[in-house]
Amino acid sequence: MAKHRRSAKYECMLLYVDEPQLISLVANKARFVALAVPPADEQRFVVTTVSKRDWASYLRGSIDLRYLFTVPEMRQTYTFDLSSMKEGKVMMDPRTEPLTEDLLPSPRFFAENHTEKFVEEDLPEDVERLIIDGEWELQEFGQFQQRYADIYAFSSAIRCWSDQDISEDRKKSIAGSFRGRPFQGGFSYVHLFKDLNDNVPYSDRIHLNEIQYASPGFVDILGVDDIFSTVNESIENLLANRRHITKSYKELYSFLSKNKYLNLAGDDYDPNTSADKYIKEGTESFAKLLKLPDLQAVVELSEKNTLVTAKVVLSYYRRLLEATSFFSQGRASFKD
C-alpha cells in the first residue's frame, strides 16, 4: 500500500469516451495507469503503478486492464482529481484500502480498446508468411511459435547490441538479460530467452497477424524484415548443414559435460584453466558453422566469460534446432 502523496506527470490519454476514461502518467522512471471512476459529475481517477514488463504485456494484449489493478503484488494505488491538474502534473493521494469492485474494470478490457495511439504502440509492418502443412497438435503449434520467437528475439538482441544508434537503456536491458545468471541449469536459459523476448521493443516485436489452418495453410507474422532474414537464414543453414552442425554441437557439449562444466556456475569458471582455449575455439568453430549472426556480441554480453558464451550459444542452437525440426518435417516452409 502506498503511504505518501505523490506527484506524477500527465503523459497521454489512452481511452476517450466523451471524456478521458484511461490515462497514462509518469514520475521519474515509474509508470502509472489512471482509470476514471464515479461519480459521473467529477473527474476522479484511481491509479495503479505498473511495471515495465506488465506495461509491455498490457500493450501487446497479453494481460487485461483489470490485471494491472488487481494482480501485481508490488503495486501501489492512488486517487486524484484530474480537475486539480496544474502544469501537467497531478498530486495523487495514497489509497490504504483495496479497490472495491465498483472501482475496477470488468475482466477482458484489453489495450486494443484504446481510442488513442500510444507512442510505443506502433506495430512493425513487415510480414513474414510461413506455410504450414500436415497435422499439428495444438501444443506443437505453440511450441513452434515460441521457438521461432526465441530465435527472433535473440537475433534482435544481438543486432541491437552492435548498433551504435540503439539507446544505452535498450543495451542495458539486453545486457541485463544475459548477466547475473548462473547458467548451471535449464532455468537460466528459460529466463534468458524470456527476458530477451520481453526486451524486444514493441515496434520490432513479432506479432501473430493471421493464421489460416488448412493443408496447406499459413501463418502471417508481423516483424522486422532484417530480423526475419537473419532467422530464416539460420534455419535454412541448419537444414542444409545439419550433420556438421550437430557433430560440432555434440563435441562441445560432451567436452563440457565430461569436465563437469555444465553444472559449473559462470561466476565460478576460471578463465586460466587449460580448457579455456578448447572451449573458446570450439565455440567459435560451432558458431561459424551455425552462422551465428555475431559471436562477438555474445562474448561481450557474456562479459567475456568463455564458459557462459559457450553455454549461451549451445542453448541458442537447441532452440534453433526445435524450430528447424518443423521445417525438416515438411510441416513448415518459407515458400508454397
Partner 1 sequence: MFREELPDQCPPHEAVDVAYERLYRAVPADPPLNEHFDSHARLGKPKPDTVDDCRWASCSLFTHRRKATNVAKLPKLRPVCQFVAELRVDVGAGLSQLRKQHVDFWFYKEFDPCTAVENCSGVEA
Least distance CB 330 / partner 1 (angstroms): 38
CA dihedral of residues 49, 50, 52, 54 (deg, nearest 10): 160
Q: Which of residues 21-80 bind partner 1 (CB under 8 A)?
A: 21-23, 35-38, 40-41, 43, 46
Which residues are paired to 210 by β-bridges?
220
**How far apart, in whole angstroms, are the C-alpha atoms of residue 13 and residue 90?**
14
User: For partner 1, which is the closer residue by CB, 93 or 121?
Assistant: 121
Read off the C-alpha cell for 95. 489509497
Report whether the peptide linkage leading into residue 271 is cis, meaning its omega lies within 30 degrees of zero: no
Least distance CB 18 / partner 1 (angstroms): 5
**How far apart, in whole angstroms, are the C-alpha atoms of residue 209 and residue 104?**
30
User: For partner 1, which is the closer residue by CB, 2 or 15?
Assistant: 15
**How far apart, in whole angstroms, are the C-alpha atoms of residue 181 and residue 169?**
20
CA distances from 271 to 176, 265, 274, 278, 303 (A): 22, 13, 8, 12, 12
User: For partner 1, which is the closer residue by CB, 166 or 222?
Assistant: 222
Residue 207 CB partners (closer than 8 Å, separation 6+): 60, 123, 124, 221, 222, 223
User: For partner 1, which is the closer residue by CB, 124 or 266?
Assistant: 124
DSSP SS3 for 265: coil
Asked if 97 touches partner 1 (CB under 8 A), the answer is no
Asked if 108 touches partner 1 (CB under 8 A), the answer is yes
**Site string (109-148) toward partner 1, x via CB under 8 A:** x---xxxxx-------------------------------
Using CB under 8 A, pick the residue from 29, 73, 96, 106 that binds partner 1: 106
Using CB under 8 A, pick the residue from 5, 7, 19, 277 that binds partner 1: 19
User: For partner 1, which is the closer residue by CB, 38 or 330?
Assistant: 38
Using CB under 8 A, pick the residue from 4, 28, 29, 102 that binds partner 1: 102
CA dihedral of residues 194, 198, 199, 204 (deg, nearest 10): 120
Note the Cα 147 to chain centre separation in Å: 13
Least distance CB 71 / partner 1 (angstroms): 17
Which residues are paired to 218 by β-bridges?
131, 212
Stretch that binds partner 1, among 100-108, 153-161, 162-170, 240-248 (CB under 8 A): 100-108
User: Binding-site residue total for partner 1 (CB under 8 A)?
Assistant: 34
Stretch that binds partner 1, among 9-17, 157-165, 178-186, 287-295 (CB under 8 A): 9-17
User: For partner 1, which is the closer residue by CB, 71 or 240?
Assistant: 71
| Grid-cell match 461519480, residue found | 39
Name the residues that contact partner 1, by CB under 8 A.
Answer: 10, 13, 15-23, 35-38, 40-41, 43, 46, 82-83, 85, 102-106, 108-109, 113-117
